[in-house]
Amino acid sequence: MRVAIETILLAAVAGLLVSVSAGALGPLVVFRGLSFLVSAAAHAALGGAALALLLQSRLPWLDPTFGAAGMAVVVASVVGAAGRGGRSGESMEVAVGVSFAGSMSLTVLLMYWLPPEKLPLVWGYLVGDILLLSPVDLATIALTATLSLAAITAFYREFVYSSFDPVGSEAHGLRVGLYDWIMLTVIALSVSAMTKAVGAILVYALVVAPAGAAVRFARGPKHCMALAFLISAGSIAMGLLLSAIVNVSPSAIAGMVSAAFYLISLLRVE
């Protein structure tokens, strides 16, 4: 029982940290119209983890976490470069789609070469399990959550202005390209860490769905971030609660609850 309680507590802390990143960054993704970037970065992390595992025969120190973060940042950089400082949202959307397809193709190719005993480590990034996190995983999630809060605190106005009106912001002298790159890189790093906790499939639901629901009720960007955090945290708490009672995946329940919040928000009449 003691082990079970410690596992739940570790998962609860991880869920709170995931919610911090989701609340801070999810609304920015929605504002910028790049919600699919979350899925692309998560699946790029999958390919990066596979690449790191393949290289471990020559670089034994190379942890899959580094590979996941590196590949996610590559995708974010490609998307930022395609946007040319935010002047072309359509170009960024195309870059997201191409990056998603390319990273998944790379993942399939690398998994073909990986030894069978290492394949479960890659699949762990796809499905994730917040109940199986190690202290190192928790530290990684805490680091990216801290990075997310630091970036939002330092560049809140720049992120918001460039998200809502990139053309106008650039016309007023704001270095939209630079702030886009910073924002996208922080998003990529946070998503790669969250992928280890909840999986590439569900990270999209836990980042985008709460933000999408919060946008429909929020009175401003800061209020939207706070609501997104609460919805994400509540969804993960519900998943952990049900997993303690019934033998179900907490991440799957959390994803379903967050999606339900968004569907309910659609009933609101503007």
Summarised one tens digit per residue, pLDDT across range 52-79 is 988 888 888 888 889 899 999 998 888 8
- Counting the structural domains of the chain, the total is 1
The candidate with the shortest Cα–Cα distance to 8, out of 228, 257, 236, is 236
The model carries a pTM of: 0.87
CATH number of the structural domain spanning residue 43: 1.10.3470.10
The candidate with the shortest Cα–Cα distance to 28, out of 177, 144, 148, is 148
Residue identified by tokens 């708490």 is: 237
Tell me what pLDDT residue 91 has: 75
Considering the domain boundaries, does residue 202 fall inside one?
yes
- CA angle, corner 43, sides to 24 and 91, nearest 5? 75
Q: Which domain holds residue 38?
A: 2-265
Mean pLDDT is lowest, of 37-41, 85-89, 198-202, 242-246, for 85-89
Considering the domain boundaries, does residue 270 fall inside one?
no
Distance CA 204, CA 38 (A): 6
Distance CA 78, CA 243 (A): 38
Considering the domain boundaries, does residue 110 fall inside one?
yes
The answer to whether 221 and 165 have CB atoms below 8 angstroms apart is: no
Tell me what pLDDT residue 2 has: 42
Q: Kindly report the number of other CB atoms within 10 A of residue 8's CB atom.
A: 17
Distance CA 126, CA 3 (A): 25
Considering the domain boundaries, does residue 164 fall inside one?
yes
Considering the domain boundaries, does residue 216 fall inside one?
yes
Read off the pLDDT of residues 214-228 as tens digits, 9 standing for 90 and up. 998 888 899 999 999
Sign of the CA dihedral with 140 first, then 42, 13, and 28 last: positive
- CA angle, corner 236, sides to 233 and 239, nearest 5? 150
Structure tokens at 233: 């945290």
Mean pLDDT is lowest, of 3-7, 17-21, 166-170, for 3-7
Tell me what pLDDT residue 96 has: 84
Tell me what pLDDT residue 260 has: 93
Residues in the chain, overall count: 270
